[in-house]
Structure 1
Amino acid sequence: MPKSRNNKKVKALLFDLGKVIVEFDFTPAFERLSKHCARRPEEIKNVFLCSGLEVLYDGGKVSTPEFYRRVKKALGHRLDFPRFKKIWNEVFTLNREMAGIIRKVKEDHRLVLISNTNAMHFDYLRVKYPLLGQFDRFVLSYREKVRKPDPKIYKKAIEACRAAPGEILYIDDREDLTNAAAALGLHTFTFKKNPGELLKKMARLGISC
């Protein structure tokens, strides 16, 4: 059983990346890729959904060169790696309201980022968004070789937070993932583009923002 979370001061905040700190939309990428192969955007989307290749890449089971090679074979596209990488990466926009919250809570709390992501995307995001420099640690699926909701990656994140589970607030956009963390004793919030509700949750936990 997880330890009680009552009456414990929150010392660390654990943030998901996609749909929390950054929004993403792969539709433009599929459209751009379709101009370089004989497949329609919807077919390209289905290739990624059905092949499981992105899950393997996010899980650190295939390298970036191998991911590129397999995508090229599956789609038959004519792009060299730099042009493919540009299309694959340019799908993100920053959630500015969340960025403001992160900058404020950083003053008094340890910040850790946890994400099911891959090397290509994360390297791109670290350069594009200096906000990620606010974080003390990154717990990433492709590095840990395990994806959320596996308890192993949450336990890595708890260690990175340097706090007990009941002293951590975890923010993610997927309820199945916040439920998995709650089972380990973390405070959780399921973010659905509702920063006002998040601020209320933080206030109840004594987090100044």
Structure 2
Amino acid sequence: MSPRLHAVILDLGNVLAFHDNALLFRRLGERAGLNAQDAERRLSGAGWTAANRGQLDAEGIRGDVCGALGVDLPMDEFNALWNCHFTIHEAVLPRVEGLVGRVKLVLLSNTNVLHVEWLRPRLPLLERFDHLVLSCEVGLVKPEPAIYQEALRHAGCAPQEAAFFDDVPAYVEAANAVGLQGHVFTTAAAFDAQLRALGL
């Protein structure tokens, strides 16, 4: 018999908000006079990870990205481009809202300070979560075991008593390795079915 579920730990990107990275690289590339592939290649290095680990503040991200692309964009223009690829996943929000107060609700996301600043006011549901574990605030990133342990600490339960949902299979596998009940997130309808199977 499965243990009673005490917590649900959710990813942010492609769960609560879609992020179209192809669009991001295309738009940044266009502004820098590069094709999308060149923009992605230039931006997929250490700076991306440093931003997610919180080693770069807002100005640091702007400087790193602009330096990699060979342009110098003012912060307002850069910030609009840097967040152009997000769309709120409206269909999933009511289901997540329905979990509030029934289980501990924890967010676990690889993200950076500028994306957090942009998404917070557009996702007021985040205020209903018991805790947000953001890589840029804790200095850890998925799939490192320690970031899952940090989420569990805030969930206040044993690993097997928490369900974890992420769209990246490798991150789900890492969650399973620390004892969480990991599930690959695909669609709102599939999420609904997964929650029902868990008794939620």
- Deviation string 1:180-209 (CA, Å, 9 cap, x unpaired) is 11122211211122x3333333223221xx
What is the aligned partner in structure 2 of residue 196 from structure 1? 189
What is the aligned partner in structure 2 of residue 46 from structure 1? 41
Distance in 2, matches of 1:70 and 1:78, equals: 10
Distance in 2, matches of 1:184 and 1:28, equals: 34
Of residues 9, 20, 23 in structure 1, which corresponds to 2:4? 9
How far residue 33 of structure 1 moved from its aligned partner, in angstroms, is 2.9
Structure 1 residues 39 and 198, CA, compared in 2 at 3 Å: closer, same or farther?
closer
1:1-209 equivalent positions in 2, closer than 5 A: 6-49=1-44, 51-193=45-187, 195-207=188-200
| Residues 43, 68 of structure 2: 8 Å contact kept | no
- Deviation string 1:29-55 (CA, Å, 9 cap, x unpaired) is 334334433323331122112x23111
Distance in 2, matches of 1:70 and 1:197, equals: 38
Distance in 2, matches of 1:86 and 1:71, equals: 13
How far residue 78 of structure 1 moved from its aligned partner, in angstroms, is 3.5
Runs of at least 5 residues in structure 1 that lack an aligned partner in the other structure: 1-5
| SS of 2:98 mapped into structure 1 | helix
Distance in 2, matches of 1:175 and 1:29, equals: 22
Root-mean-square deviation over aligned CA pairs: 1.7
When normalised by structure 2's length, the TM-score is 0.92
| SS of 1:171 mapped into structure 2 | strand
When normalised by structure 1's length, the TM-score is 0.88
Structure ranking higher on relative contact order (CA contacts 8 Å, 6+ apart): 1
Structure 1 residues 112 and 41, CA, compared in 2 at 3 Å: closer, same or farther?
same
- Deviation string 1:101-153 (CA, Å, 9 cap, x unpaired) is 10111141111000010010011100122122221101111111110111110
How far residue 84 of structure 1 moved from its aligned partner, in angstroms, is 0.3
Distance in 2, matches of 1:159 and 1:182, equals: 16
| Residues 66, 72 of structure 2: 8 Å contact kept | yes
Distance in 2, matches of 1:174 and 1:73, equals: 29
How many residues were matched structurally? 200
Distance in 1, matches of 2:177 and 2:30, equals: 46
Runs of at least 5 residues in structure 2 that lack an aligned partner in the other structure: none
